[in-house]
């Protein structure tokens, strides 16, 4: 059985990876999880068929994974910093030459911002990215013997590295279950009712409670692929969406469900969708 088939099979199984029923891990014990509201109050998240949604995504995107090309954690860290507000395809065009010139954090730190910038100039925000990459590499040399750490706290202490980048590195370079919330994950998770977060951090926390831990990393990829291919930001292709039957937002857009209170109107004050 392939990895993807194993993933789909695991989700379809009534029991989780460790033999325990996965349902409590999906929906939590004693009712649905609650979303943080204004002033710290919490409201219950919508009751949605989490397992059916994940099963459908697993079957629809069996090969979902990162498109960034990398050979080690250092390369993935740099590629992920470069990918902010830039396509993975563009990043993959610049990294081969960049890594050939500066193959280690030590070499990248020594080269500095001025030498890095021309090599990544076709990526957006390249000056600030060059500055962050050089600073992050100096921090790796000074504090981690040139190696990329495999802990969240150490990763987000690096210049230019936030939770999203750290989760991508943990998940793809170290096989640590993690859910990185980019603009696609944020949008699709909120539309499906898997989350009701105003910030990427809230959405990440809600997804971590609803999705079985064994599937965190793949769920991140499934939601990204669905966002890129079907659930587009401006005009989601709800009519042909495999999740339409499970998606109140999609049915509302198709005129078959009422608007959920507080949904689909102007973004509430303080709500910040992630960039890139
Ligand atoms: S039905 Fe529409 S809104 Fe819902 S997930 Fe599919 S494309 Fe997105």
pLDDT tens digits for range 259-270:
665 555 555 444
Whether the per-residue pLDDT at 41 is higher than 90: the answer is no
| Cα(203)–Cα(5) distance, integer angstroms | 27
pLDDT at residue 45, rounded to an integer: 84
Cβ contact 246:236 at 8 Å: no
pLDDT at residue 46, rounded to an integer: 85
Q: Which atom of ligand 1 is nearest to the CA of 191?
A: 3
Q: Which atom of ligand 1 is nearest to the CA of 230?
A: 7
Domain residue limits, the chain: 3-13+45-63+180-253, 73-174
Which tens digits make up the pLDDT trace of 149-160?
Answer: 999 999 999 999
pLDDT at residue 268, rounded to an integer: 44
Q: Report the CATH number of the 73-174 domain.
A: 1.10.340.30
275 is catalytic: no
| Cα(267)–Cα(276) distance, integer angstroms | 18
Architecture of domain 3-13+45-63+180-253: Orthogonal Bundle (1.10)
Question: What is the whole-number distance in angstroms between the Cα of residue 239 and the centre of ligand 1?
Answer: 8
| Cα(155)–Cα(158) distance, integer angstroms | 6
What DSSP element (H or E) covers 34?
Answer: strand 34-36
Cβ contact 231:242 at 8 Å: no
Check residue 149 and report its DSSP letter: P
Q: Which two tokens stand for residue 118?
A: 């021309």
Q: Which of 47-51, 106-110, 123-127, 259-263 is predicted least confidently?
A: 259-263
Sign of CA dihedral 240, 243, 246, 248: negative
For 44, list phi and psi in degrees, rounded to 5: -65, 140
* Lining residues, ligand 1, CB within 6 Å: 191-192, 230-231, 236-238, 241, 243-244, 247, 249-250
């Amino acid at each position: 059985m392939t990895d993807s088939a194993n993933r789909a099979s695991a989700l379809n199984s009534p029991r989780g990876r460790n033999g325990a029923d996965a349902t409590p891990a999906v929906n939590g014990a004693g009712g649905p999880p609650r979303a943080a509201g204004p002033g710290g109050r919490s409201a219950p998240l919508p009751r949605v068929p989490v397992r059916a949604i994940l099963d459908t995504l697993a079957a629809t995107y069996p090969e979902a994974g990162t498109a960034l090309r990398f050979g080690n954690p250092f390369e993935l860290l740099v590629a992920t910093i470069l990918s902010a507000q830039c396509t993975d395809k563009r990043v993959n065009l610049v990294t081969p030459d960049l890594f050939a010139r500066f193959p280690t954090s030590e070499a990248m730190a020594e080269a500095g911002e001025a030498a890095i910038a021309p090599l990544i100039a076709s990526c957006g925000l390249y000056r600030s990215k060059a500055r962050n990459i050089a600073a992050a590499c100096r921090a790796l040399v000074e504090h981690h013997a040139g190696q990329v750490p495999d802990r969240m706290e150490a990763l987000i202490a690096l210049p230019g590295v936030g939770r999203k980048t750290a989760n991508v590195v943990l998940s793809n370079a170290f096989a640590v279950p993690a859910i990185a919330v980019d603009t696609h994950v944020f949008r699709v998770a909120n539309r499906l009712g898997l989350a009701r977060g105003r910030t990427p951090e809230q959405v990440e926390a809600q997804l971590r409670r609803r999705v079985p831990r064994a599937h965190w990393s793949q769920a991140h990829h499934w939601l990204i692929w669905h966002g890129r291919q079907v659930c587009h930001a401006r005009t989601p292709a709800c009519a042909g969406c495999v999740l339409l039957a499970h998606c109140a937002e999609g049915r509302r857009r198709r005129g078959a469900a009422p608007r959920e209170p507080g949904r689909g109107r102007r973004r509430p004050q303080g709500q910040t969708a992630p960039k890139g």
